[in-house]
Amino acid sequence: MSAKVLDGKKIAADYRANLAQEVEQLKAQGVTPNLTVILVGNDGASQSYVNNKKKSAEKIGMSSSIIHLDESTTEVALLEEIDKLNKDDDVHGILVQVPLPKQIDETKVLEKIAPEKDVDGFNPINIGRLYAGVETYIPCTPLGIMEILKHADIDLEGKDVAVIGRSHIVGQPVAKLLTDANATVTLLHSRSKDMDAVLKRSDVIVSAVGKPGLVTKDVVKEGAVIVDVGNTVVDGKLTGDVVYDEVSEVAGAITPVPGGVGPLTITMVLNNTLLAAKRAQK
């Protein structure tokens, strides 16, 4: 058996085409959704991520700008910058690229972003709202994973799902969304005992660790759906957690790296920015 490839680029392109139509409608009412991204420092990967976010926003008709601050920027200066954006009615979505330089307390920064403009969904207020089941912004990678699963021909109701990795950005929120979709979720992490036994019985595996080679053929059930969130650069190549070639022989469906979850994450930044622009009109 050869797994169905869950083509993130195609799924993202279709989703963005719909977003573009909605952006057009909003613009006809005189509102141009705006995403403003703050980048601190010169990390190469972060620079390419934020450029990609800006380009993707502009491609669907949004306006977007990058505020690029020096590596030595103080926490106070960054908080002031966020404060200005919070007060600017033309800015609908604010995203501060992480990680931040060590002199800056990330939590303070995330708490400073106005919850109604927090399109990453990283402000603790929005995290709390997610768990309380009230209007919020859901973090983009988990939202993207759920969109991909819609294309995997699997009804999550009652299914055994293993999520590997318990980060605040991916593992924990996606476990929450999967639970809401009535799956039975096991959240695995570095201290988990007998991870292999859990994986072998799972109908869906979401791996979000950043450890190439972690998920091999021998721990995957025949026909299981595999979502690979890993993105580690190995010899200049983006590499997932899943040993793709061998796992595709047994899985029912699988996401490639690159071209799987990644394009959906950016798509959901755009989705949340549009949502923020719409909510601001209410």
Enumerate the known binding-site residues for NADP(+). Answer: 165-167
Catalytic residue among 54, 112, 120, 203: 120
**How far is it, in rounded angstroms, from Cα 32 to Cα 46?**
26
Shortest gap between Cβ of 123 and ligand GUN (angstroms)?
A: 11
**How far is it, in rounded angstroms, from Cα 16 to Cα 270?**
8
In which element (H, E) is residue 8 found? helix 8-28
Catalytic residue among 53, 54, 117, 159: 53
- Of the pair 67, 98, the CB lying nearest ligand GUN is at 98
Shortest gap between Cβ of 52 and ligand GUN (angstroms)?
A: 11
Shortest gap between Cβ of 241 and ligand GUN (angstroms)?
A: 16
Name the site residues for ligand GUN (rule: CB under 6 A).
95-98, 120, 140
* Class of residue 12 by CB neighbours under 10 A (exposed 0-12, middle 13-18, buried 19+): buried
**How far is it, in rounded angstroms, from Cα 116 to Cα 137?**
8
Q: Is 120 a catalytic residue?
A: yes
Catalytic residue among 54, 97, 112, 172: 97
- Of the pair 82, 96, the CB lying nearest ligand GUN is at 96
Q: Is 53 a catalytic residue?
A: yes
CA atoms within 13 A of residue 251's CA, in its CB half-sphere: 32
Question: Would you list the DSSP string of 49-96?
Answer: HHHHHHHHHHHTT-EEEEEEE-TT--HHHHHHHHHHHHH-TT--EEEE
- Of the pair 94, 242, the CB lying nearest ligand GUN is at 94
**How far is it, in rounded angstroms, from Cα 260 to Cα 239?**
11
Shortest gap between Cβ of 224 and ligand GUN (angstroms)?
A: 26
| Contact between residue 209 and residue 236 where contact means Cβ atoms under 8 Å apart | no
Q: Is 172 a catalytic residue?
A: no
- Of the pair 8, 252, the CB lying nearest ligand GUN is at 8
| Contact between residue 23 and residue 62 where contact means Cβ atoms under 8 Å apart | yes
**How far is it, in rounded angstroms, from Cα 227 to Cα 205?**
6
- Of the pair 138, 224, the CB lying nearest ligand GUN is at 138
Shortest gap between Cβ of 50 and ligand GUN (angstroms)?
A: 9
Catalytically annotated residues = 53, 97, 120
